Amino acid sequence: MTRLTPHQPARPAIAVFCSGHGTNLQAILDATRAGRLRACVALVLSDRPDAGALRRARRAGVEAHYVDPRASPTRAAFERVLIRRCEARQVRLVCLAGFMRMLSPVFVRRYRHRIVNIHPALLPAFPGAHAIRDALQWGVKVTGVTVHLVDEAMDHGPIILQEALAIRPGETATSLLARLHTMEHRLYPQAIHLMLAGRVKVEGRTVRIADRR
């Protein structure tokens, strides 16, 4: 066990919620390990027992749990389980990384302006679970990645960071996903760093990034 010295303050605890392979979780873990993100991934939660993210977390020595939504009588009751898990680890920031459940006001109000999500499109364009497919079907020339705060609506909260990506001629969903993943894995740890550093200031729907202190 690592002991803290007076010159080694505890890193803020974050929780990562995942439903799938956990590639963004891995990017966060890599950033903390490399020192680019001063945080501790204290908890990984998934609503799917076979999520690859759980295996990634456990290999990294991070506490990871499957929370069965069907074991709770209501959505609110399920989310109270998530809240208790987060409170037990004194989680400061909740990061959604491919978590395929929309959080209700029960959770959002408990962690208002302390929940972030990453989305593979330039919101407000193409919200929802099929953003890459939808962008290609619409024939847009530019898409990208958005990191935003989570509110009670789907892919709707104030935008922290965005980055655009030109769609190439003949682009496929597979090739576009791979290029967007590269962007996500760089942008998400950066946004988390800004949040934990207290540099994200929310004014209505506008997010302002404060200068370094």
Q: Please, are residues 143 and 164 in contact by the beta-carbon 8 Å criterion?
A: yes
Which pairing describes strands 64-66 and 40-46: parallel, antiparallel, or unpaired? parallel
Length of the chain: 213
Q: Please, are residues 45 and 39 in contact by the beta-carbon 8 Å criterion?
A: no
Per DSSP, helices labelled H in the chain are 23-34, 52-59, 75-88, 105-110, 131-138, 173-196
Reply yes or no on whether 148 is catalytic.
no
186 contacts: CB under 8 Å, gap ≥ 6: 27
Catalytic pick from 7, 65, 113, 119?
A: 119
22 torsion bin: left (phi>0), alpha (psi -120 to 50), beta (else) = left
As annotated, the active-site residues are: 119
